[in-house]
Structure 1
Amino acid sequence: MDKVKVLEKYLPPEAAPLIGRWIDYFKCEFKISRNRGTKFGDYRAPYQGKGHRISVNYDLNPYAFLVTTVHEFAHLHTFNEHKHKAKPHGTEWKHNFKKMMQPFFEKDIFPPDVKHAIISYLNNPAASSCSDLTLYRSLRKYDAPKEDIHTVEKLPIHALFKLKDGRIFRREEKLRKRYKCTEIATRRVYLFSPVAEVEVVND
């Protein structure tokens, strides 16, 4: 099947032709991946005879899929220009991410709130990667509803929740940017991102 037709299933359709051209231009292996709870996408630089490799989680909404794809292509472009000399989300990467996002702004592909969050993120040197919470939250609004799944920040204090591996935690107070959570079985304390997705456990 034509790669653009495949990409249209995951991206806003008007973005698919350009991403298809990037795959060809950069001679990149582009993989649509299973969900990897800890990351949306991944870039691997050429290594031992393999070329550039990008993978993006299949279950992202179209806007999140596009932002993640551009994020990873910006890593590829930065590697081509600077090899390992540039920091992963440093000035060079930010410049390329901004430049590579421009055609999609011009096509008016993003809803206003997502576009604003991307621009704000790119103008904020303190935000080191796409773990930027404002951007994450704006993208998440366009997800299909997930029954029984909540983010840690939305849970009341002392609520119990479960991870995919079955471990159960109690949500405690917020410490700066993360939430202190106690694992019930071991009483060990962990710090969770506000936007970590968990399943509520009823007492």
Structure 2
Amino acid sequence: MIDQKISVLSKYIPPEAANLIAKWIDFYRCEFKISKSRNTKFGDYRPPQNGKGHRISVNHNLNPYAFLVTAVHEFAHLVTWKEFEQKAKPHGNEWKTNFKRMMQPFFEFEVFPIEIRKVITNYLENPSASSCSDIDLFRALSSYDKKDPNIIHVDKVPDNHRFAMKNGKVFRKMNKIRKRFRCIEVKSGAIYLFSPIAEVYLMKDE
């Protein structure tokens, strides 16, 4: 059975990492699901409840390095829950300690390109709730995505220029407020704050 898990996982993460992730799945008796794409999260962990055991899901469309970092992130939640259950905060010091520890073998396996390894090392100094929350890590991981060449990040949109979201809504980029960009929806005039790494389509302005 573990050979089958390794075979499947090798399609989504670097083959050198698949063996350990497969062992974790068996050791923790975890239901590991490769999920459809979700805009709000890369992965998810759910503790045992209603007769079900530990459950982890990771989006299928992540590149191998993003998939692996997300999987380790969620397994760190599993281990933290086993140790502390509800007594530990979801992304508190206990989770941070486990996440750092569980990332170490993959450095030893040398599965990450050097530029990603450097950024992950910096990120592990104080890991946040999501790899998306750390702009440097998000950029390093997303640089390996297969992307539509017409998509850019909001921070690359020129000031006062229009851009469109995937849902078709059109905005004009205004000024930066702390870490986010203030943008106005052209149709309604409503103001929204965008993350600098939000993916949008640049439009030809008037």
1:6 aligned partner? 8
Q: CA RMSD in A?
A: 1.5
1:186 aligned partner? 188
1:45 aligned partner? 47
The answer (yes or no) to whether the contact 2:42–2:58 under 8 Å persists in 1 is yes
Deviating 4+ runs (over 4 angstroms): none
Give the whole-Å Cα distance in 2 for the aligned partners of 1:38 and 1:201.
Answer: 24
Gapped runs of 5+ residues in structure 2? Answer: none
User: Where does 1:33-182 land on structure 2 (aligned, <5 Å)?
Assistant: 33-124=35-126, 127-130=128-131, 131-182=133-184
Give the whole-Å Cα distance in 1 for the aligned partners of 2:145 and 2:40.
Answer: 17
The answer (yes or no) to whether the contact 1:90–1:128 under 8 Å persists in 2 is no
Instruction: Evaluate the alpha carbon distance shift between residue 145 and residue 128 of structure 1 in structure 2; reply closer, same or farther with a 3 A threshold.
Output: closer
Q: TM-score, normalised by structure 1?
A: 0.94
Give the whole-Å Cα distance in 2 for the aligned partners of 1:75 and 1:159.
Answer: 41
Q: TM-score, normalised by structure 2?
A: 0.93
Gapped runs of 5+ residues in structure 1? Answer: none
Give the whole-Å Cα distance in 2 for the aligned partners of 1:165 and 1:129.
Answer: 24
**CA shift digits 1:76-122 (9 cap, x unpaired):** 11111111111111111110001110110111111122111111111
Give the whole-Å Cα distance in 1 for the aligned partners of 2:164 and 2:43.
Answer: 24
Give the whole-Å Cα distance in 1 for the aligned partners of 2:20 and 2:35.
Answer: 20
**CA shift digits 1:159-183 (9 cap, x unpaired):** 2222222211111111111111111
1:12 positional shift:
0.5
Aligned-residue identity in percent: 57
1:70 alignment partner, SS class: helix
Give the whole-Å Cα distance in 2 for the aligned partners of 1:184 and 1:22.
Answer: 49
